[in-house]
């Protein structure tokens, strides 16, 4: 059995697999991993662990320690690369790219070979474009919804509001509406820009993943929702490396 882990800034997504089929999956906070009953139940059967992460070195050590309380399986971290199976990273220093972006792109590249845009809507929103010949055309990193809400609450004077429905784009008639509708308006504009860029770069499809994917889809994003794109990517790479 294999355990795949996507350790982000705010939560850890995981998936237990046996012979390519999902046995169980979930998303938990880092400090909760060692107490997840589904993981504890199968701990003795786990033979390997593959991790994609953007967390700090200190938190990586905490993650490994937590996993060691669940299973004795070895942990292998996978990072961004300059190239894999025809997918070529646009970064001159590929080590500076977040592993989650690379793994999401790789899964998307394996799924869509005639040009793809990849959106990962998490704590930050990342957007990457991959041409039909596997060239990473570059991308964008934007603050996510919760990051923008926190920024307005902490850094903008005299703006008091309660987080509300960030799916309406009509002009607001209260501070709360102005903030929430404004964030929806920004997201909707981003959706339109991705659609325009997809046409400009001849990208056949847009894939979206991450915790805020549903909100972007509700705001008109035309995309295929792939909830576990990062796990899919690190799983593919781990399988390739294990069979090499």
Q: Which residues are annotated as a binding site?
A: 6-13, 91, 98-101, 120, 123, 175
Q: Which of 99, 36, 102 is nearest to 71 (CA)?
A: 36
Q: How far apart are CA 199 and CA 204, in angstroms?
A: 8
Tokens representing residue 98 in the block: 């977040």
Q: Judge contact between 187 and 145, C-beta under 8 A.
A: yes
Q: Which residues are annotated as a binding site for K(+)?
A: 120
Sign of the Cα pseudo-torsion (187, 190, 192, 194, in order): negative
Q: Give yes or no for a contact between 139 and 194, defined as CB atoms under 8 angstroms apart.
A: no
Choosing from 28, 44, 100, 212, which is the catalytic residue?
100
212 is catalytic: no
Q: Which two tokens stand for residue 164?
A: 């509300």
As a whole number of angstroms, the distance between CA 90 and CA 191 comes to 23
Quick one: 1 exposed, middle or buried, by C-beta within 10 A (0-12, 13-18, 19+)? middle
Question: Given the structure tokens 């929430």, which residue do they identify?
Answer: 180
Distance between CA atoms of 212 and 214, rounded to whole angstroms? Answer: 5
CB 109 within 8 A of CB 116: yes
Q: Which residues are catalytic?
A: 100
């Amino acid at each position: 059995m294999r355990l795949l882990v996507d350790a982000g800034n705010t939560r850890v997504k995981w998936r237990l697999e046996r012979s390519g089929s999902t046995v169980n999956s979930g998303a938990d906070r880092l400090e909760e991993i060692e107490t997840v009953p589904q993981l504890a139940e199968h701990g003795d059967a786990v033979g390997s662990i593959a991790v994609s992460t953007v967390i700090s070195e200190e938190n990586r050590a905490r993650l490994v320690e937590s996993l060691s309380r669940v299973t004795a399986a070895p942990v292998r971290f996978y990072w961004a690369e300059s190239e894999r199976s025809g997918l070529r990273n646009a970064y001159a220093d590929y080590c500076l790219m977040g592993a989650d972006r690379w793994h999401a792109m790789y899964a998307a590249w394996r799924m869509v070979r005639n040009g793809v845009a990849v959106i990962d809507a998490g704590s930050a929103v990342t957007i990457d474009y991959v041409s039909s010949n596997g060239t990473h055309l570059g991308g964008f990193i934007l603050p996510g919804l919760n990051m923008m809400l926190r920024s307005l609450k902490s850094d903008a004077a005299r703006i008091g509001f309660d987080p509300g429905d960030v799916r309406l784009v009509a002009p607001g008639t209260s501070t709360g509406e102005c903030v929430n509708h404004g964030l929806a308006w920004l997201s909707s504009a981003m959706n339109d820009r991705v659609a325009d860029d997809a046409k400009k770069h001849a990208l056949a499809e847009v894939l979206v993943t991450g915790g805020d994917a549903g909100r972007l889809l509700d705001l008109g994003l035309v995309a295929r929702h792939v909830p576990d794109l990062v796990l899919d990517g690190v799983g593919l790479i781990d399988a390739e490396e294990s069979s090499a």
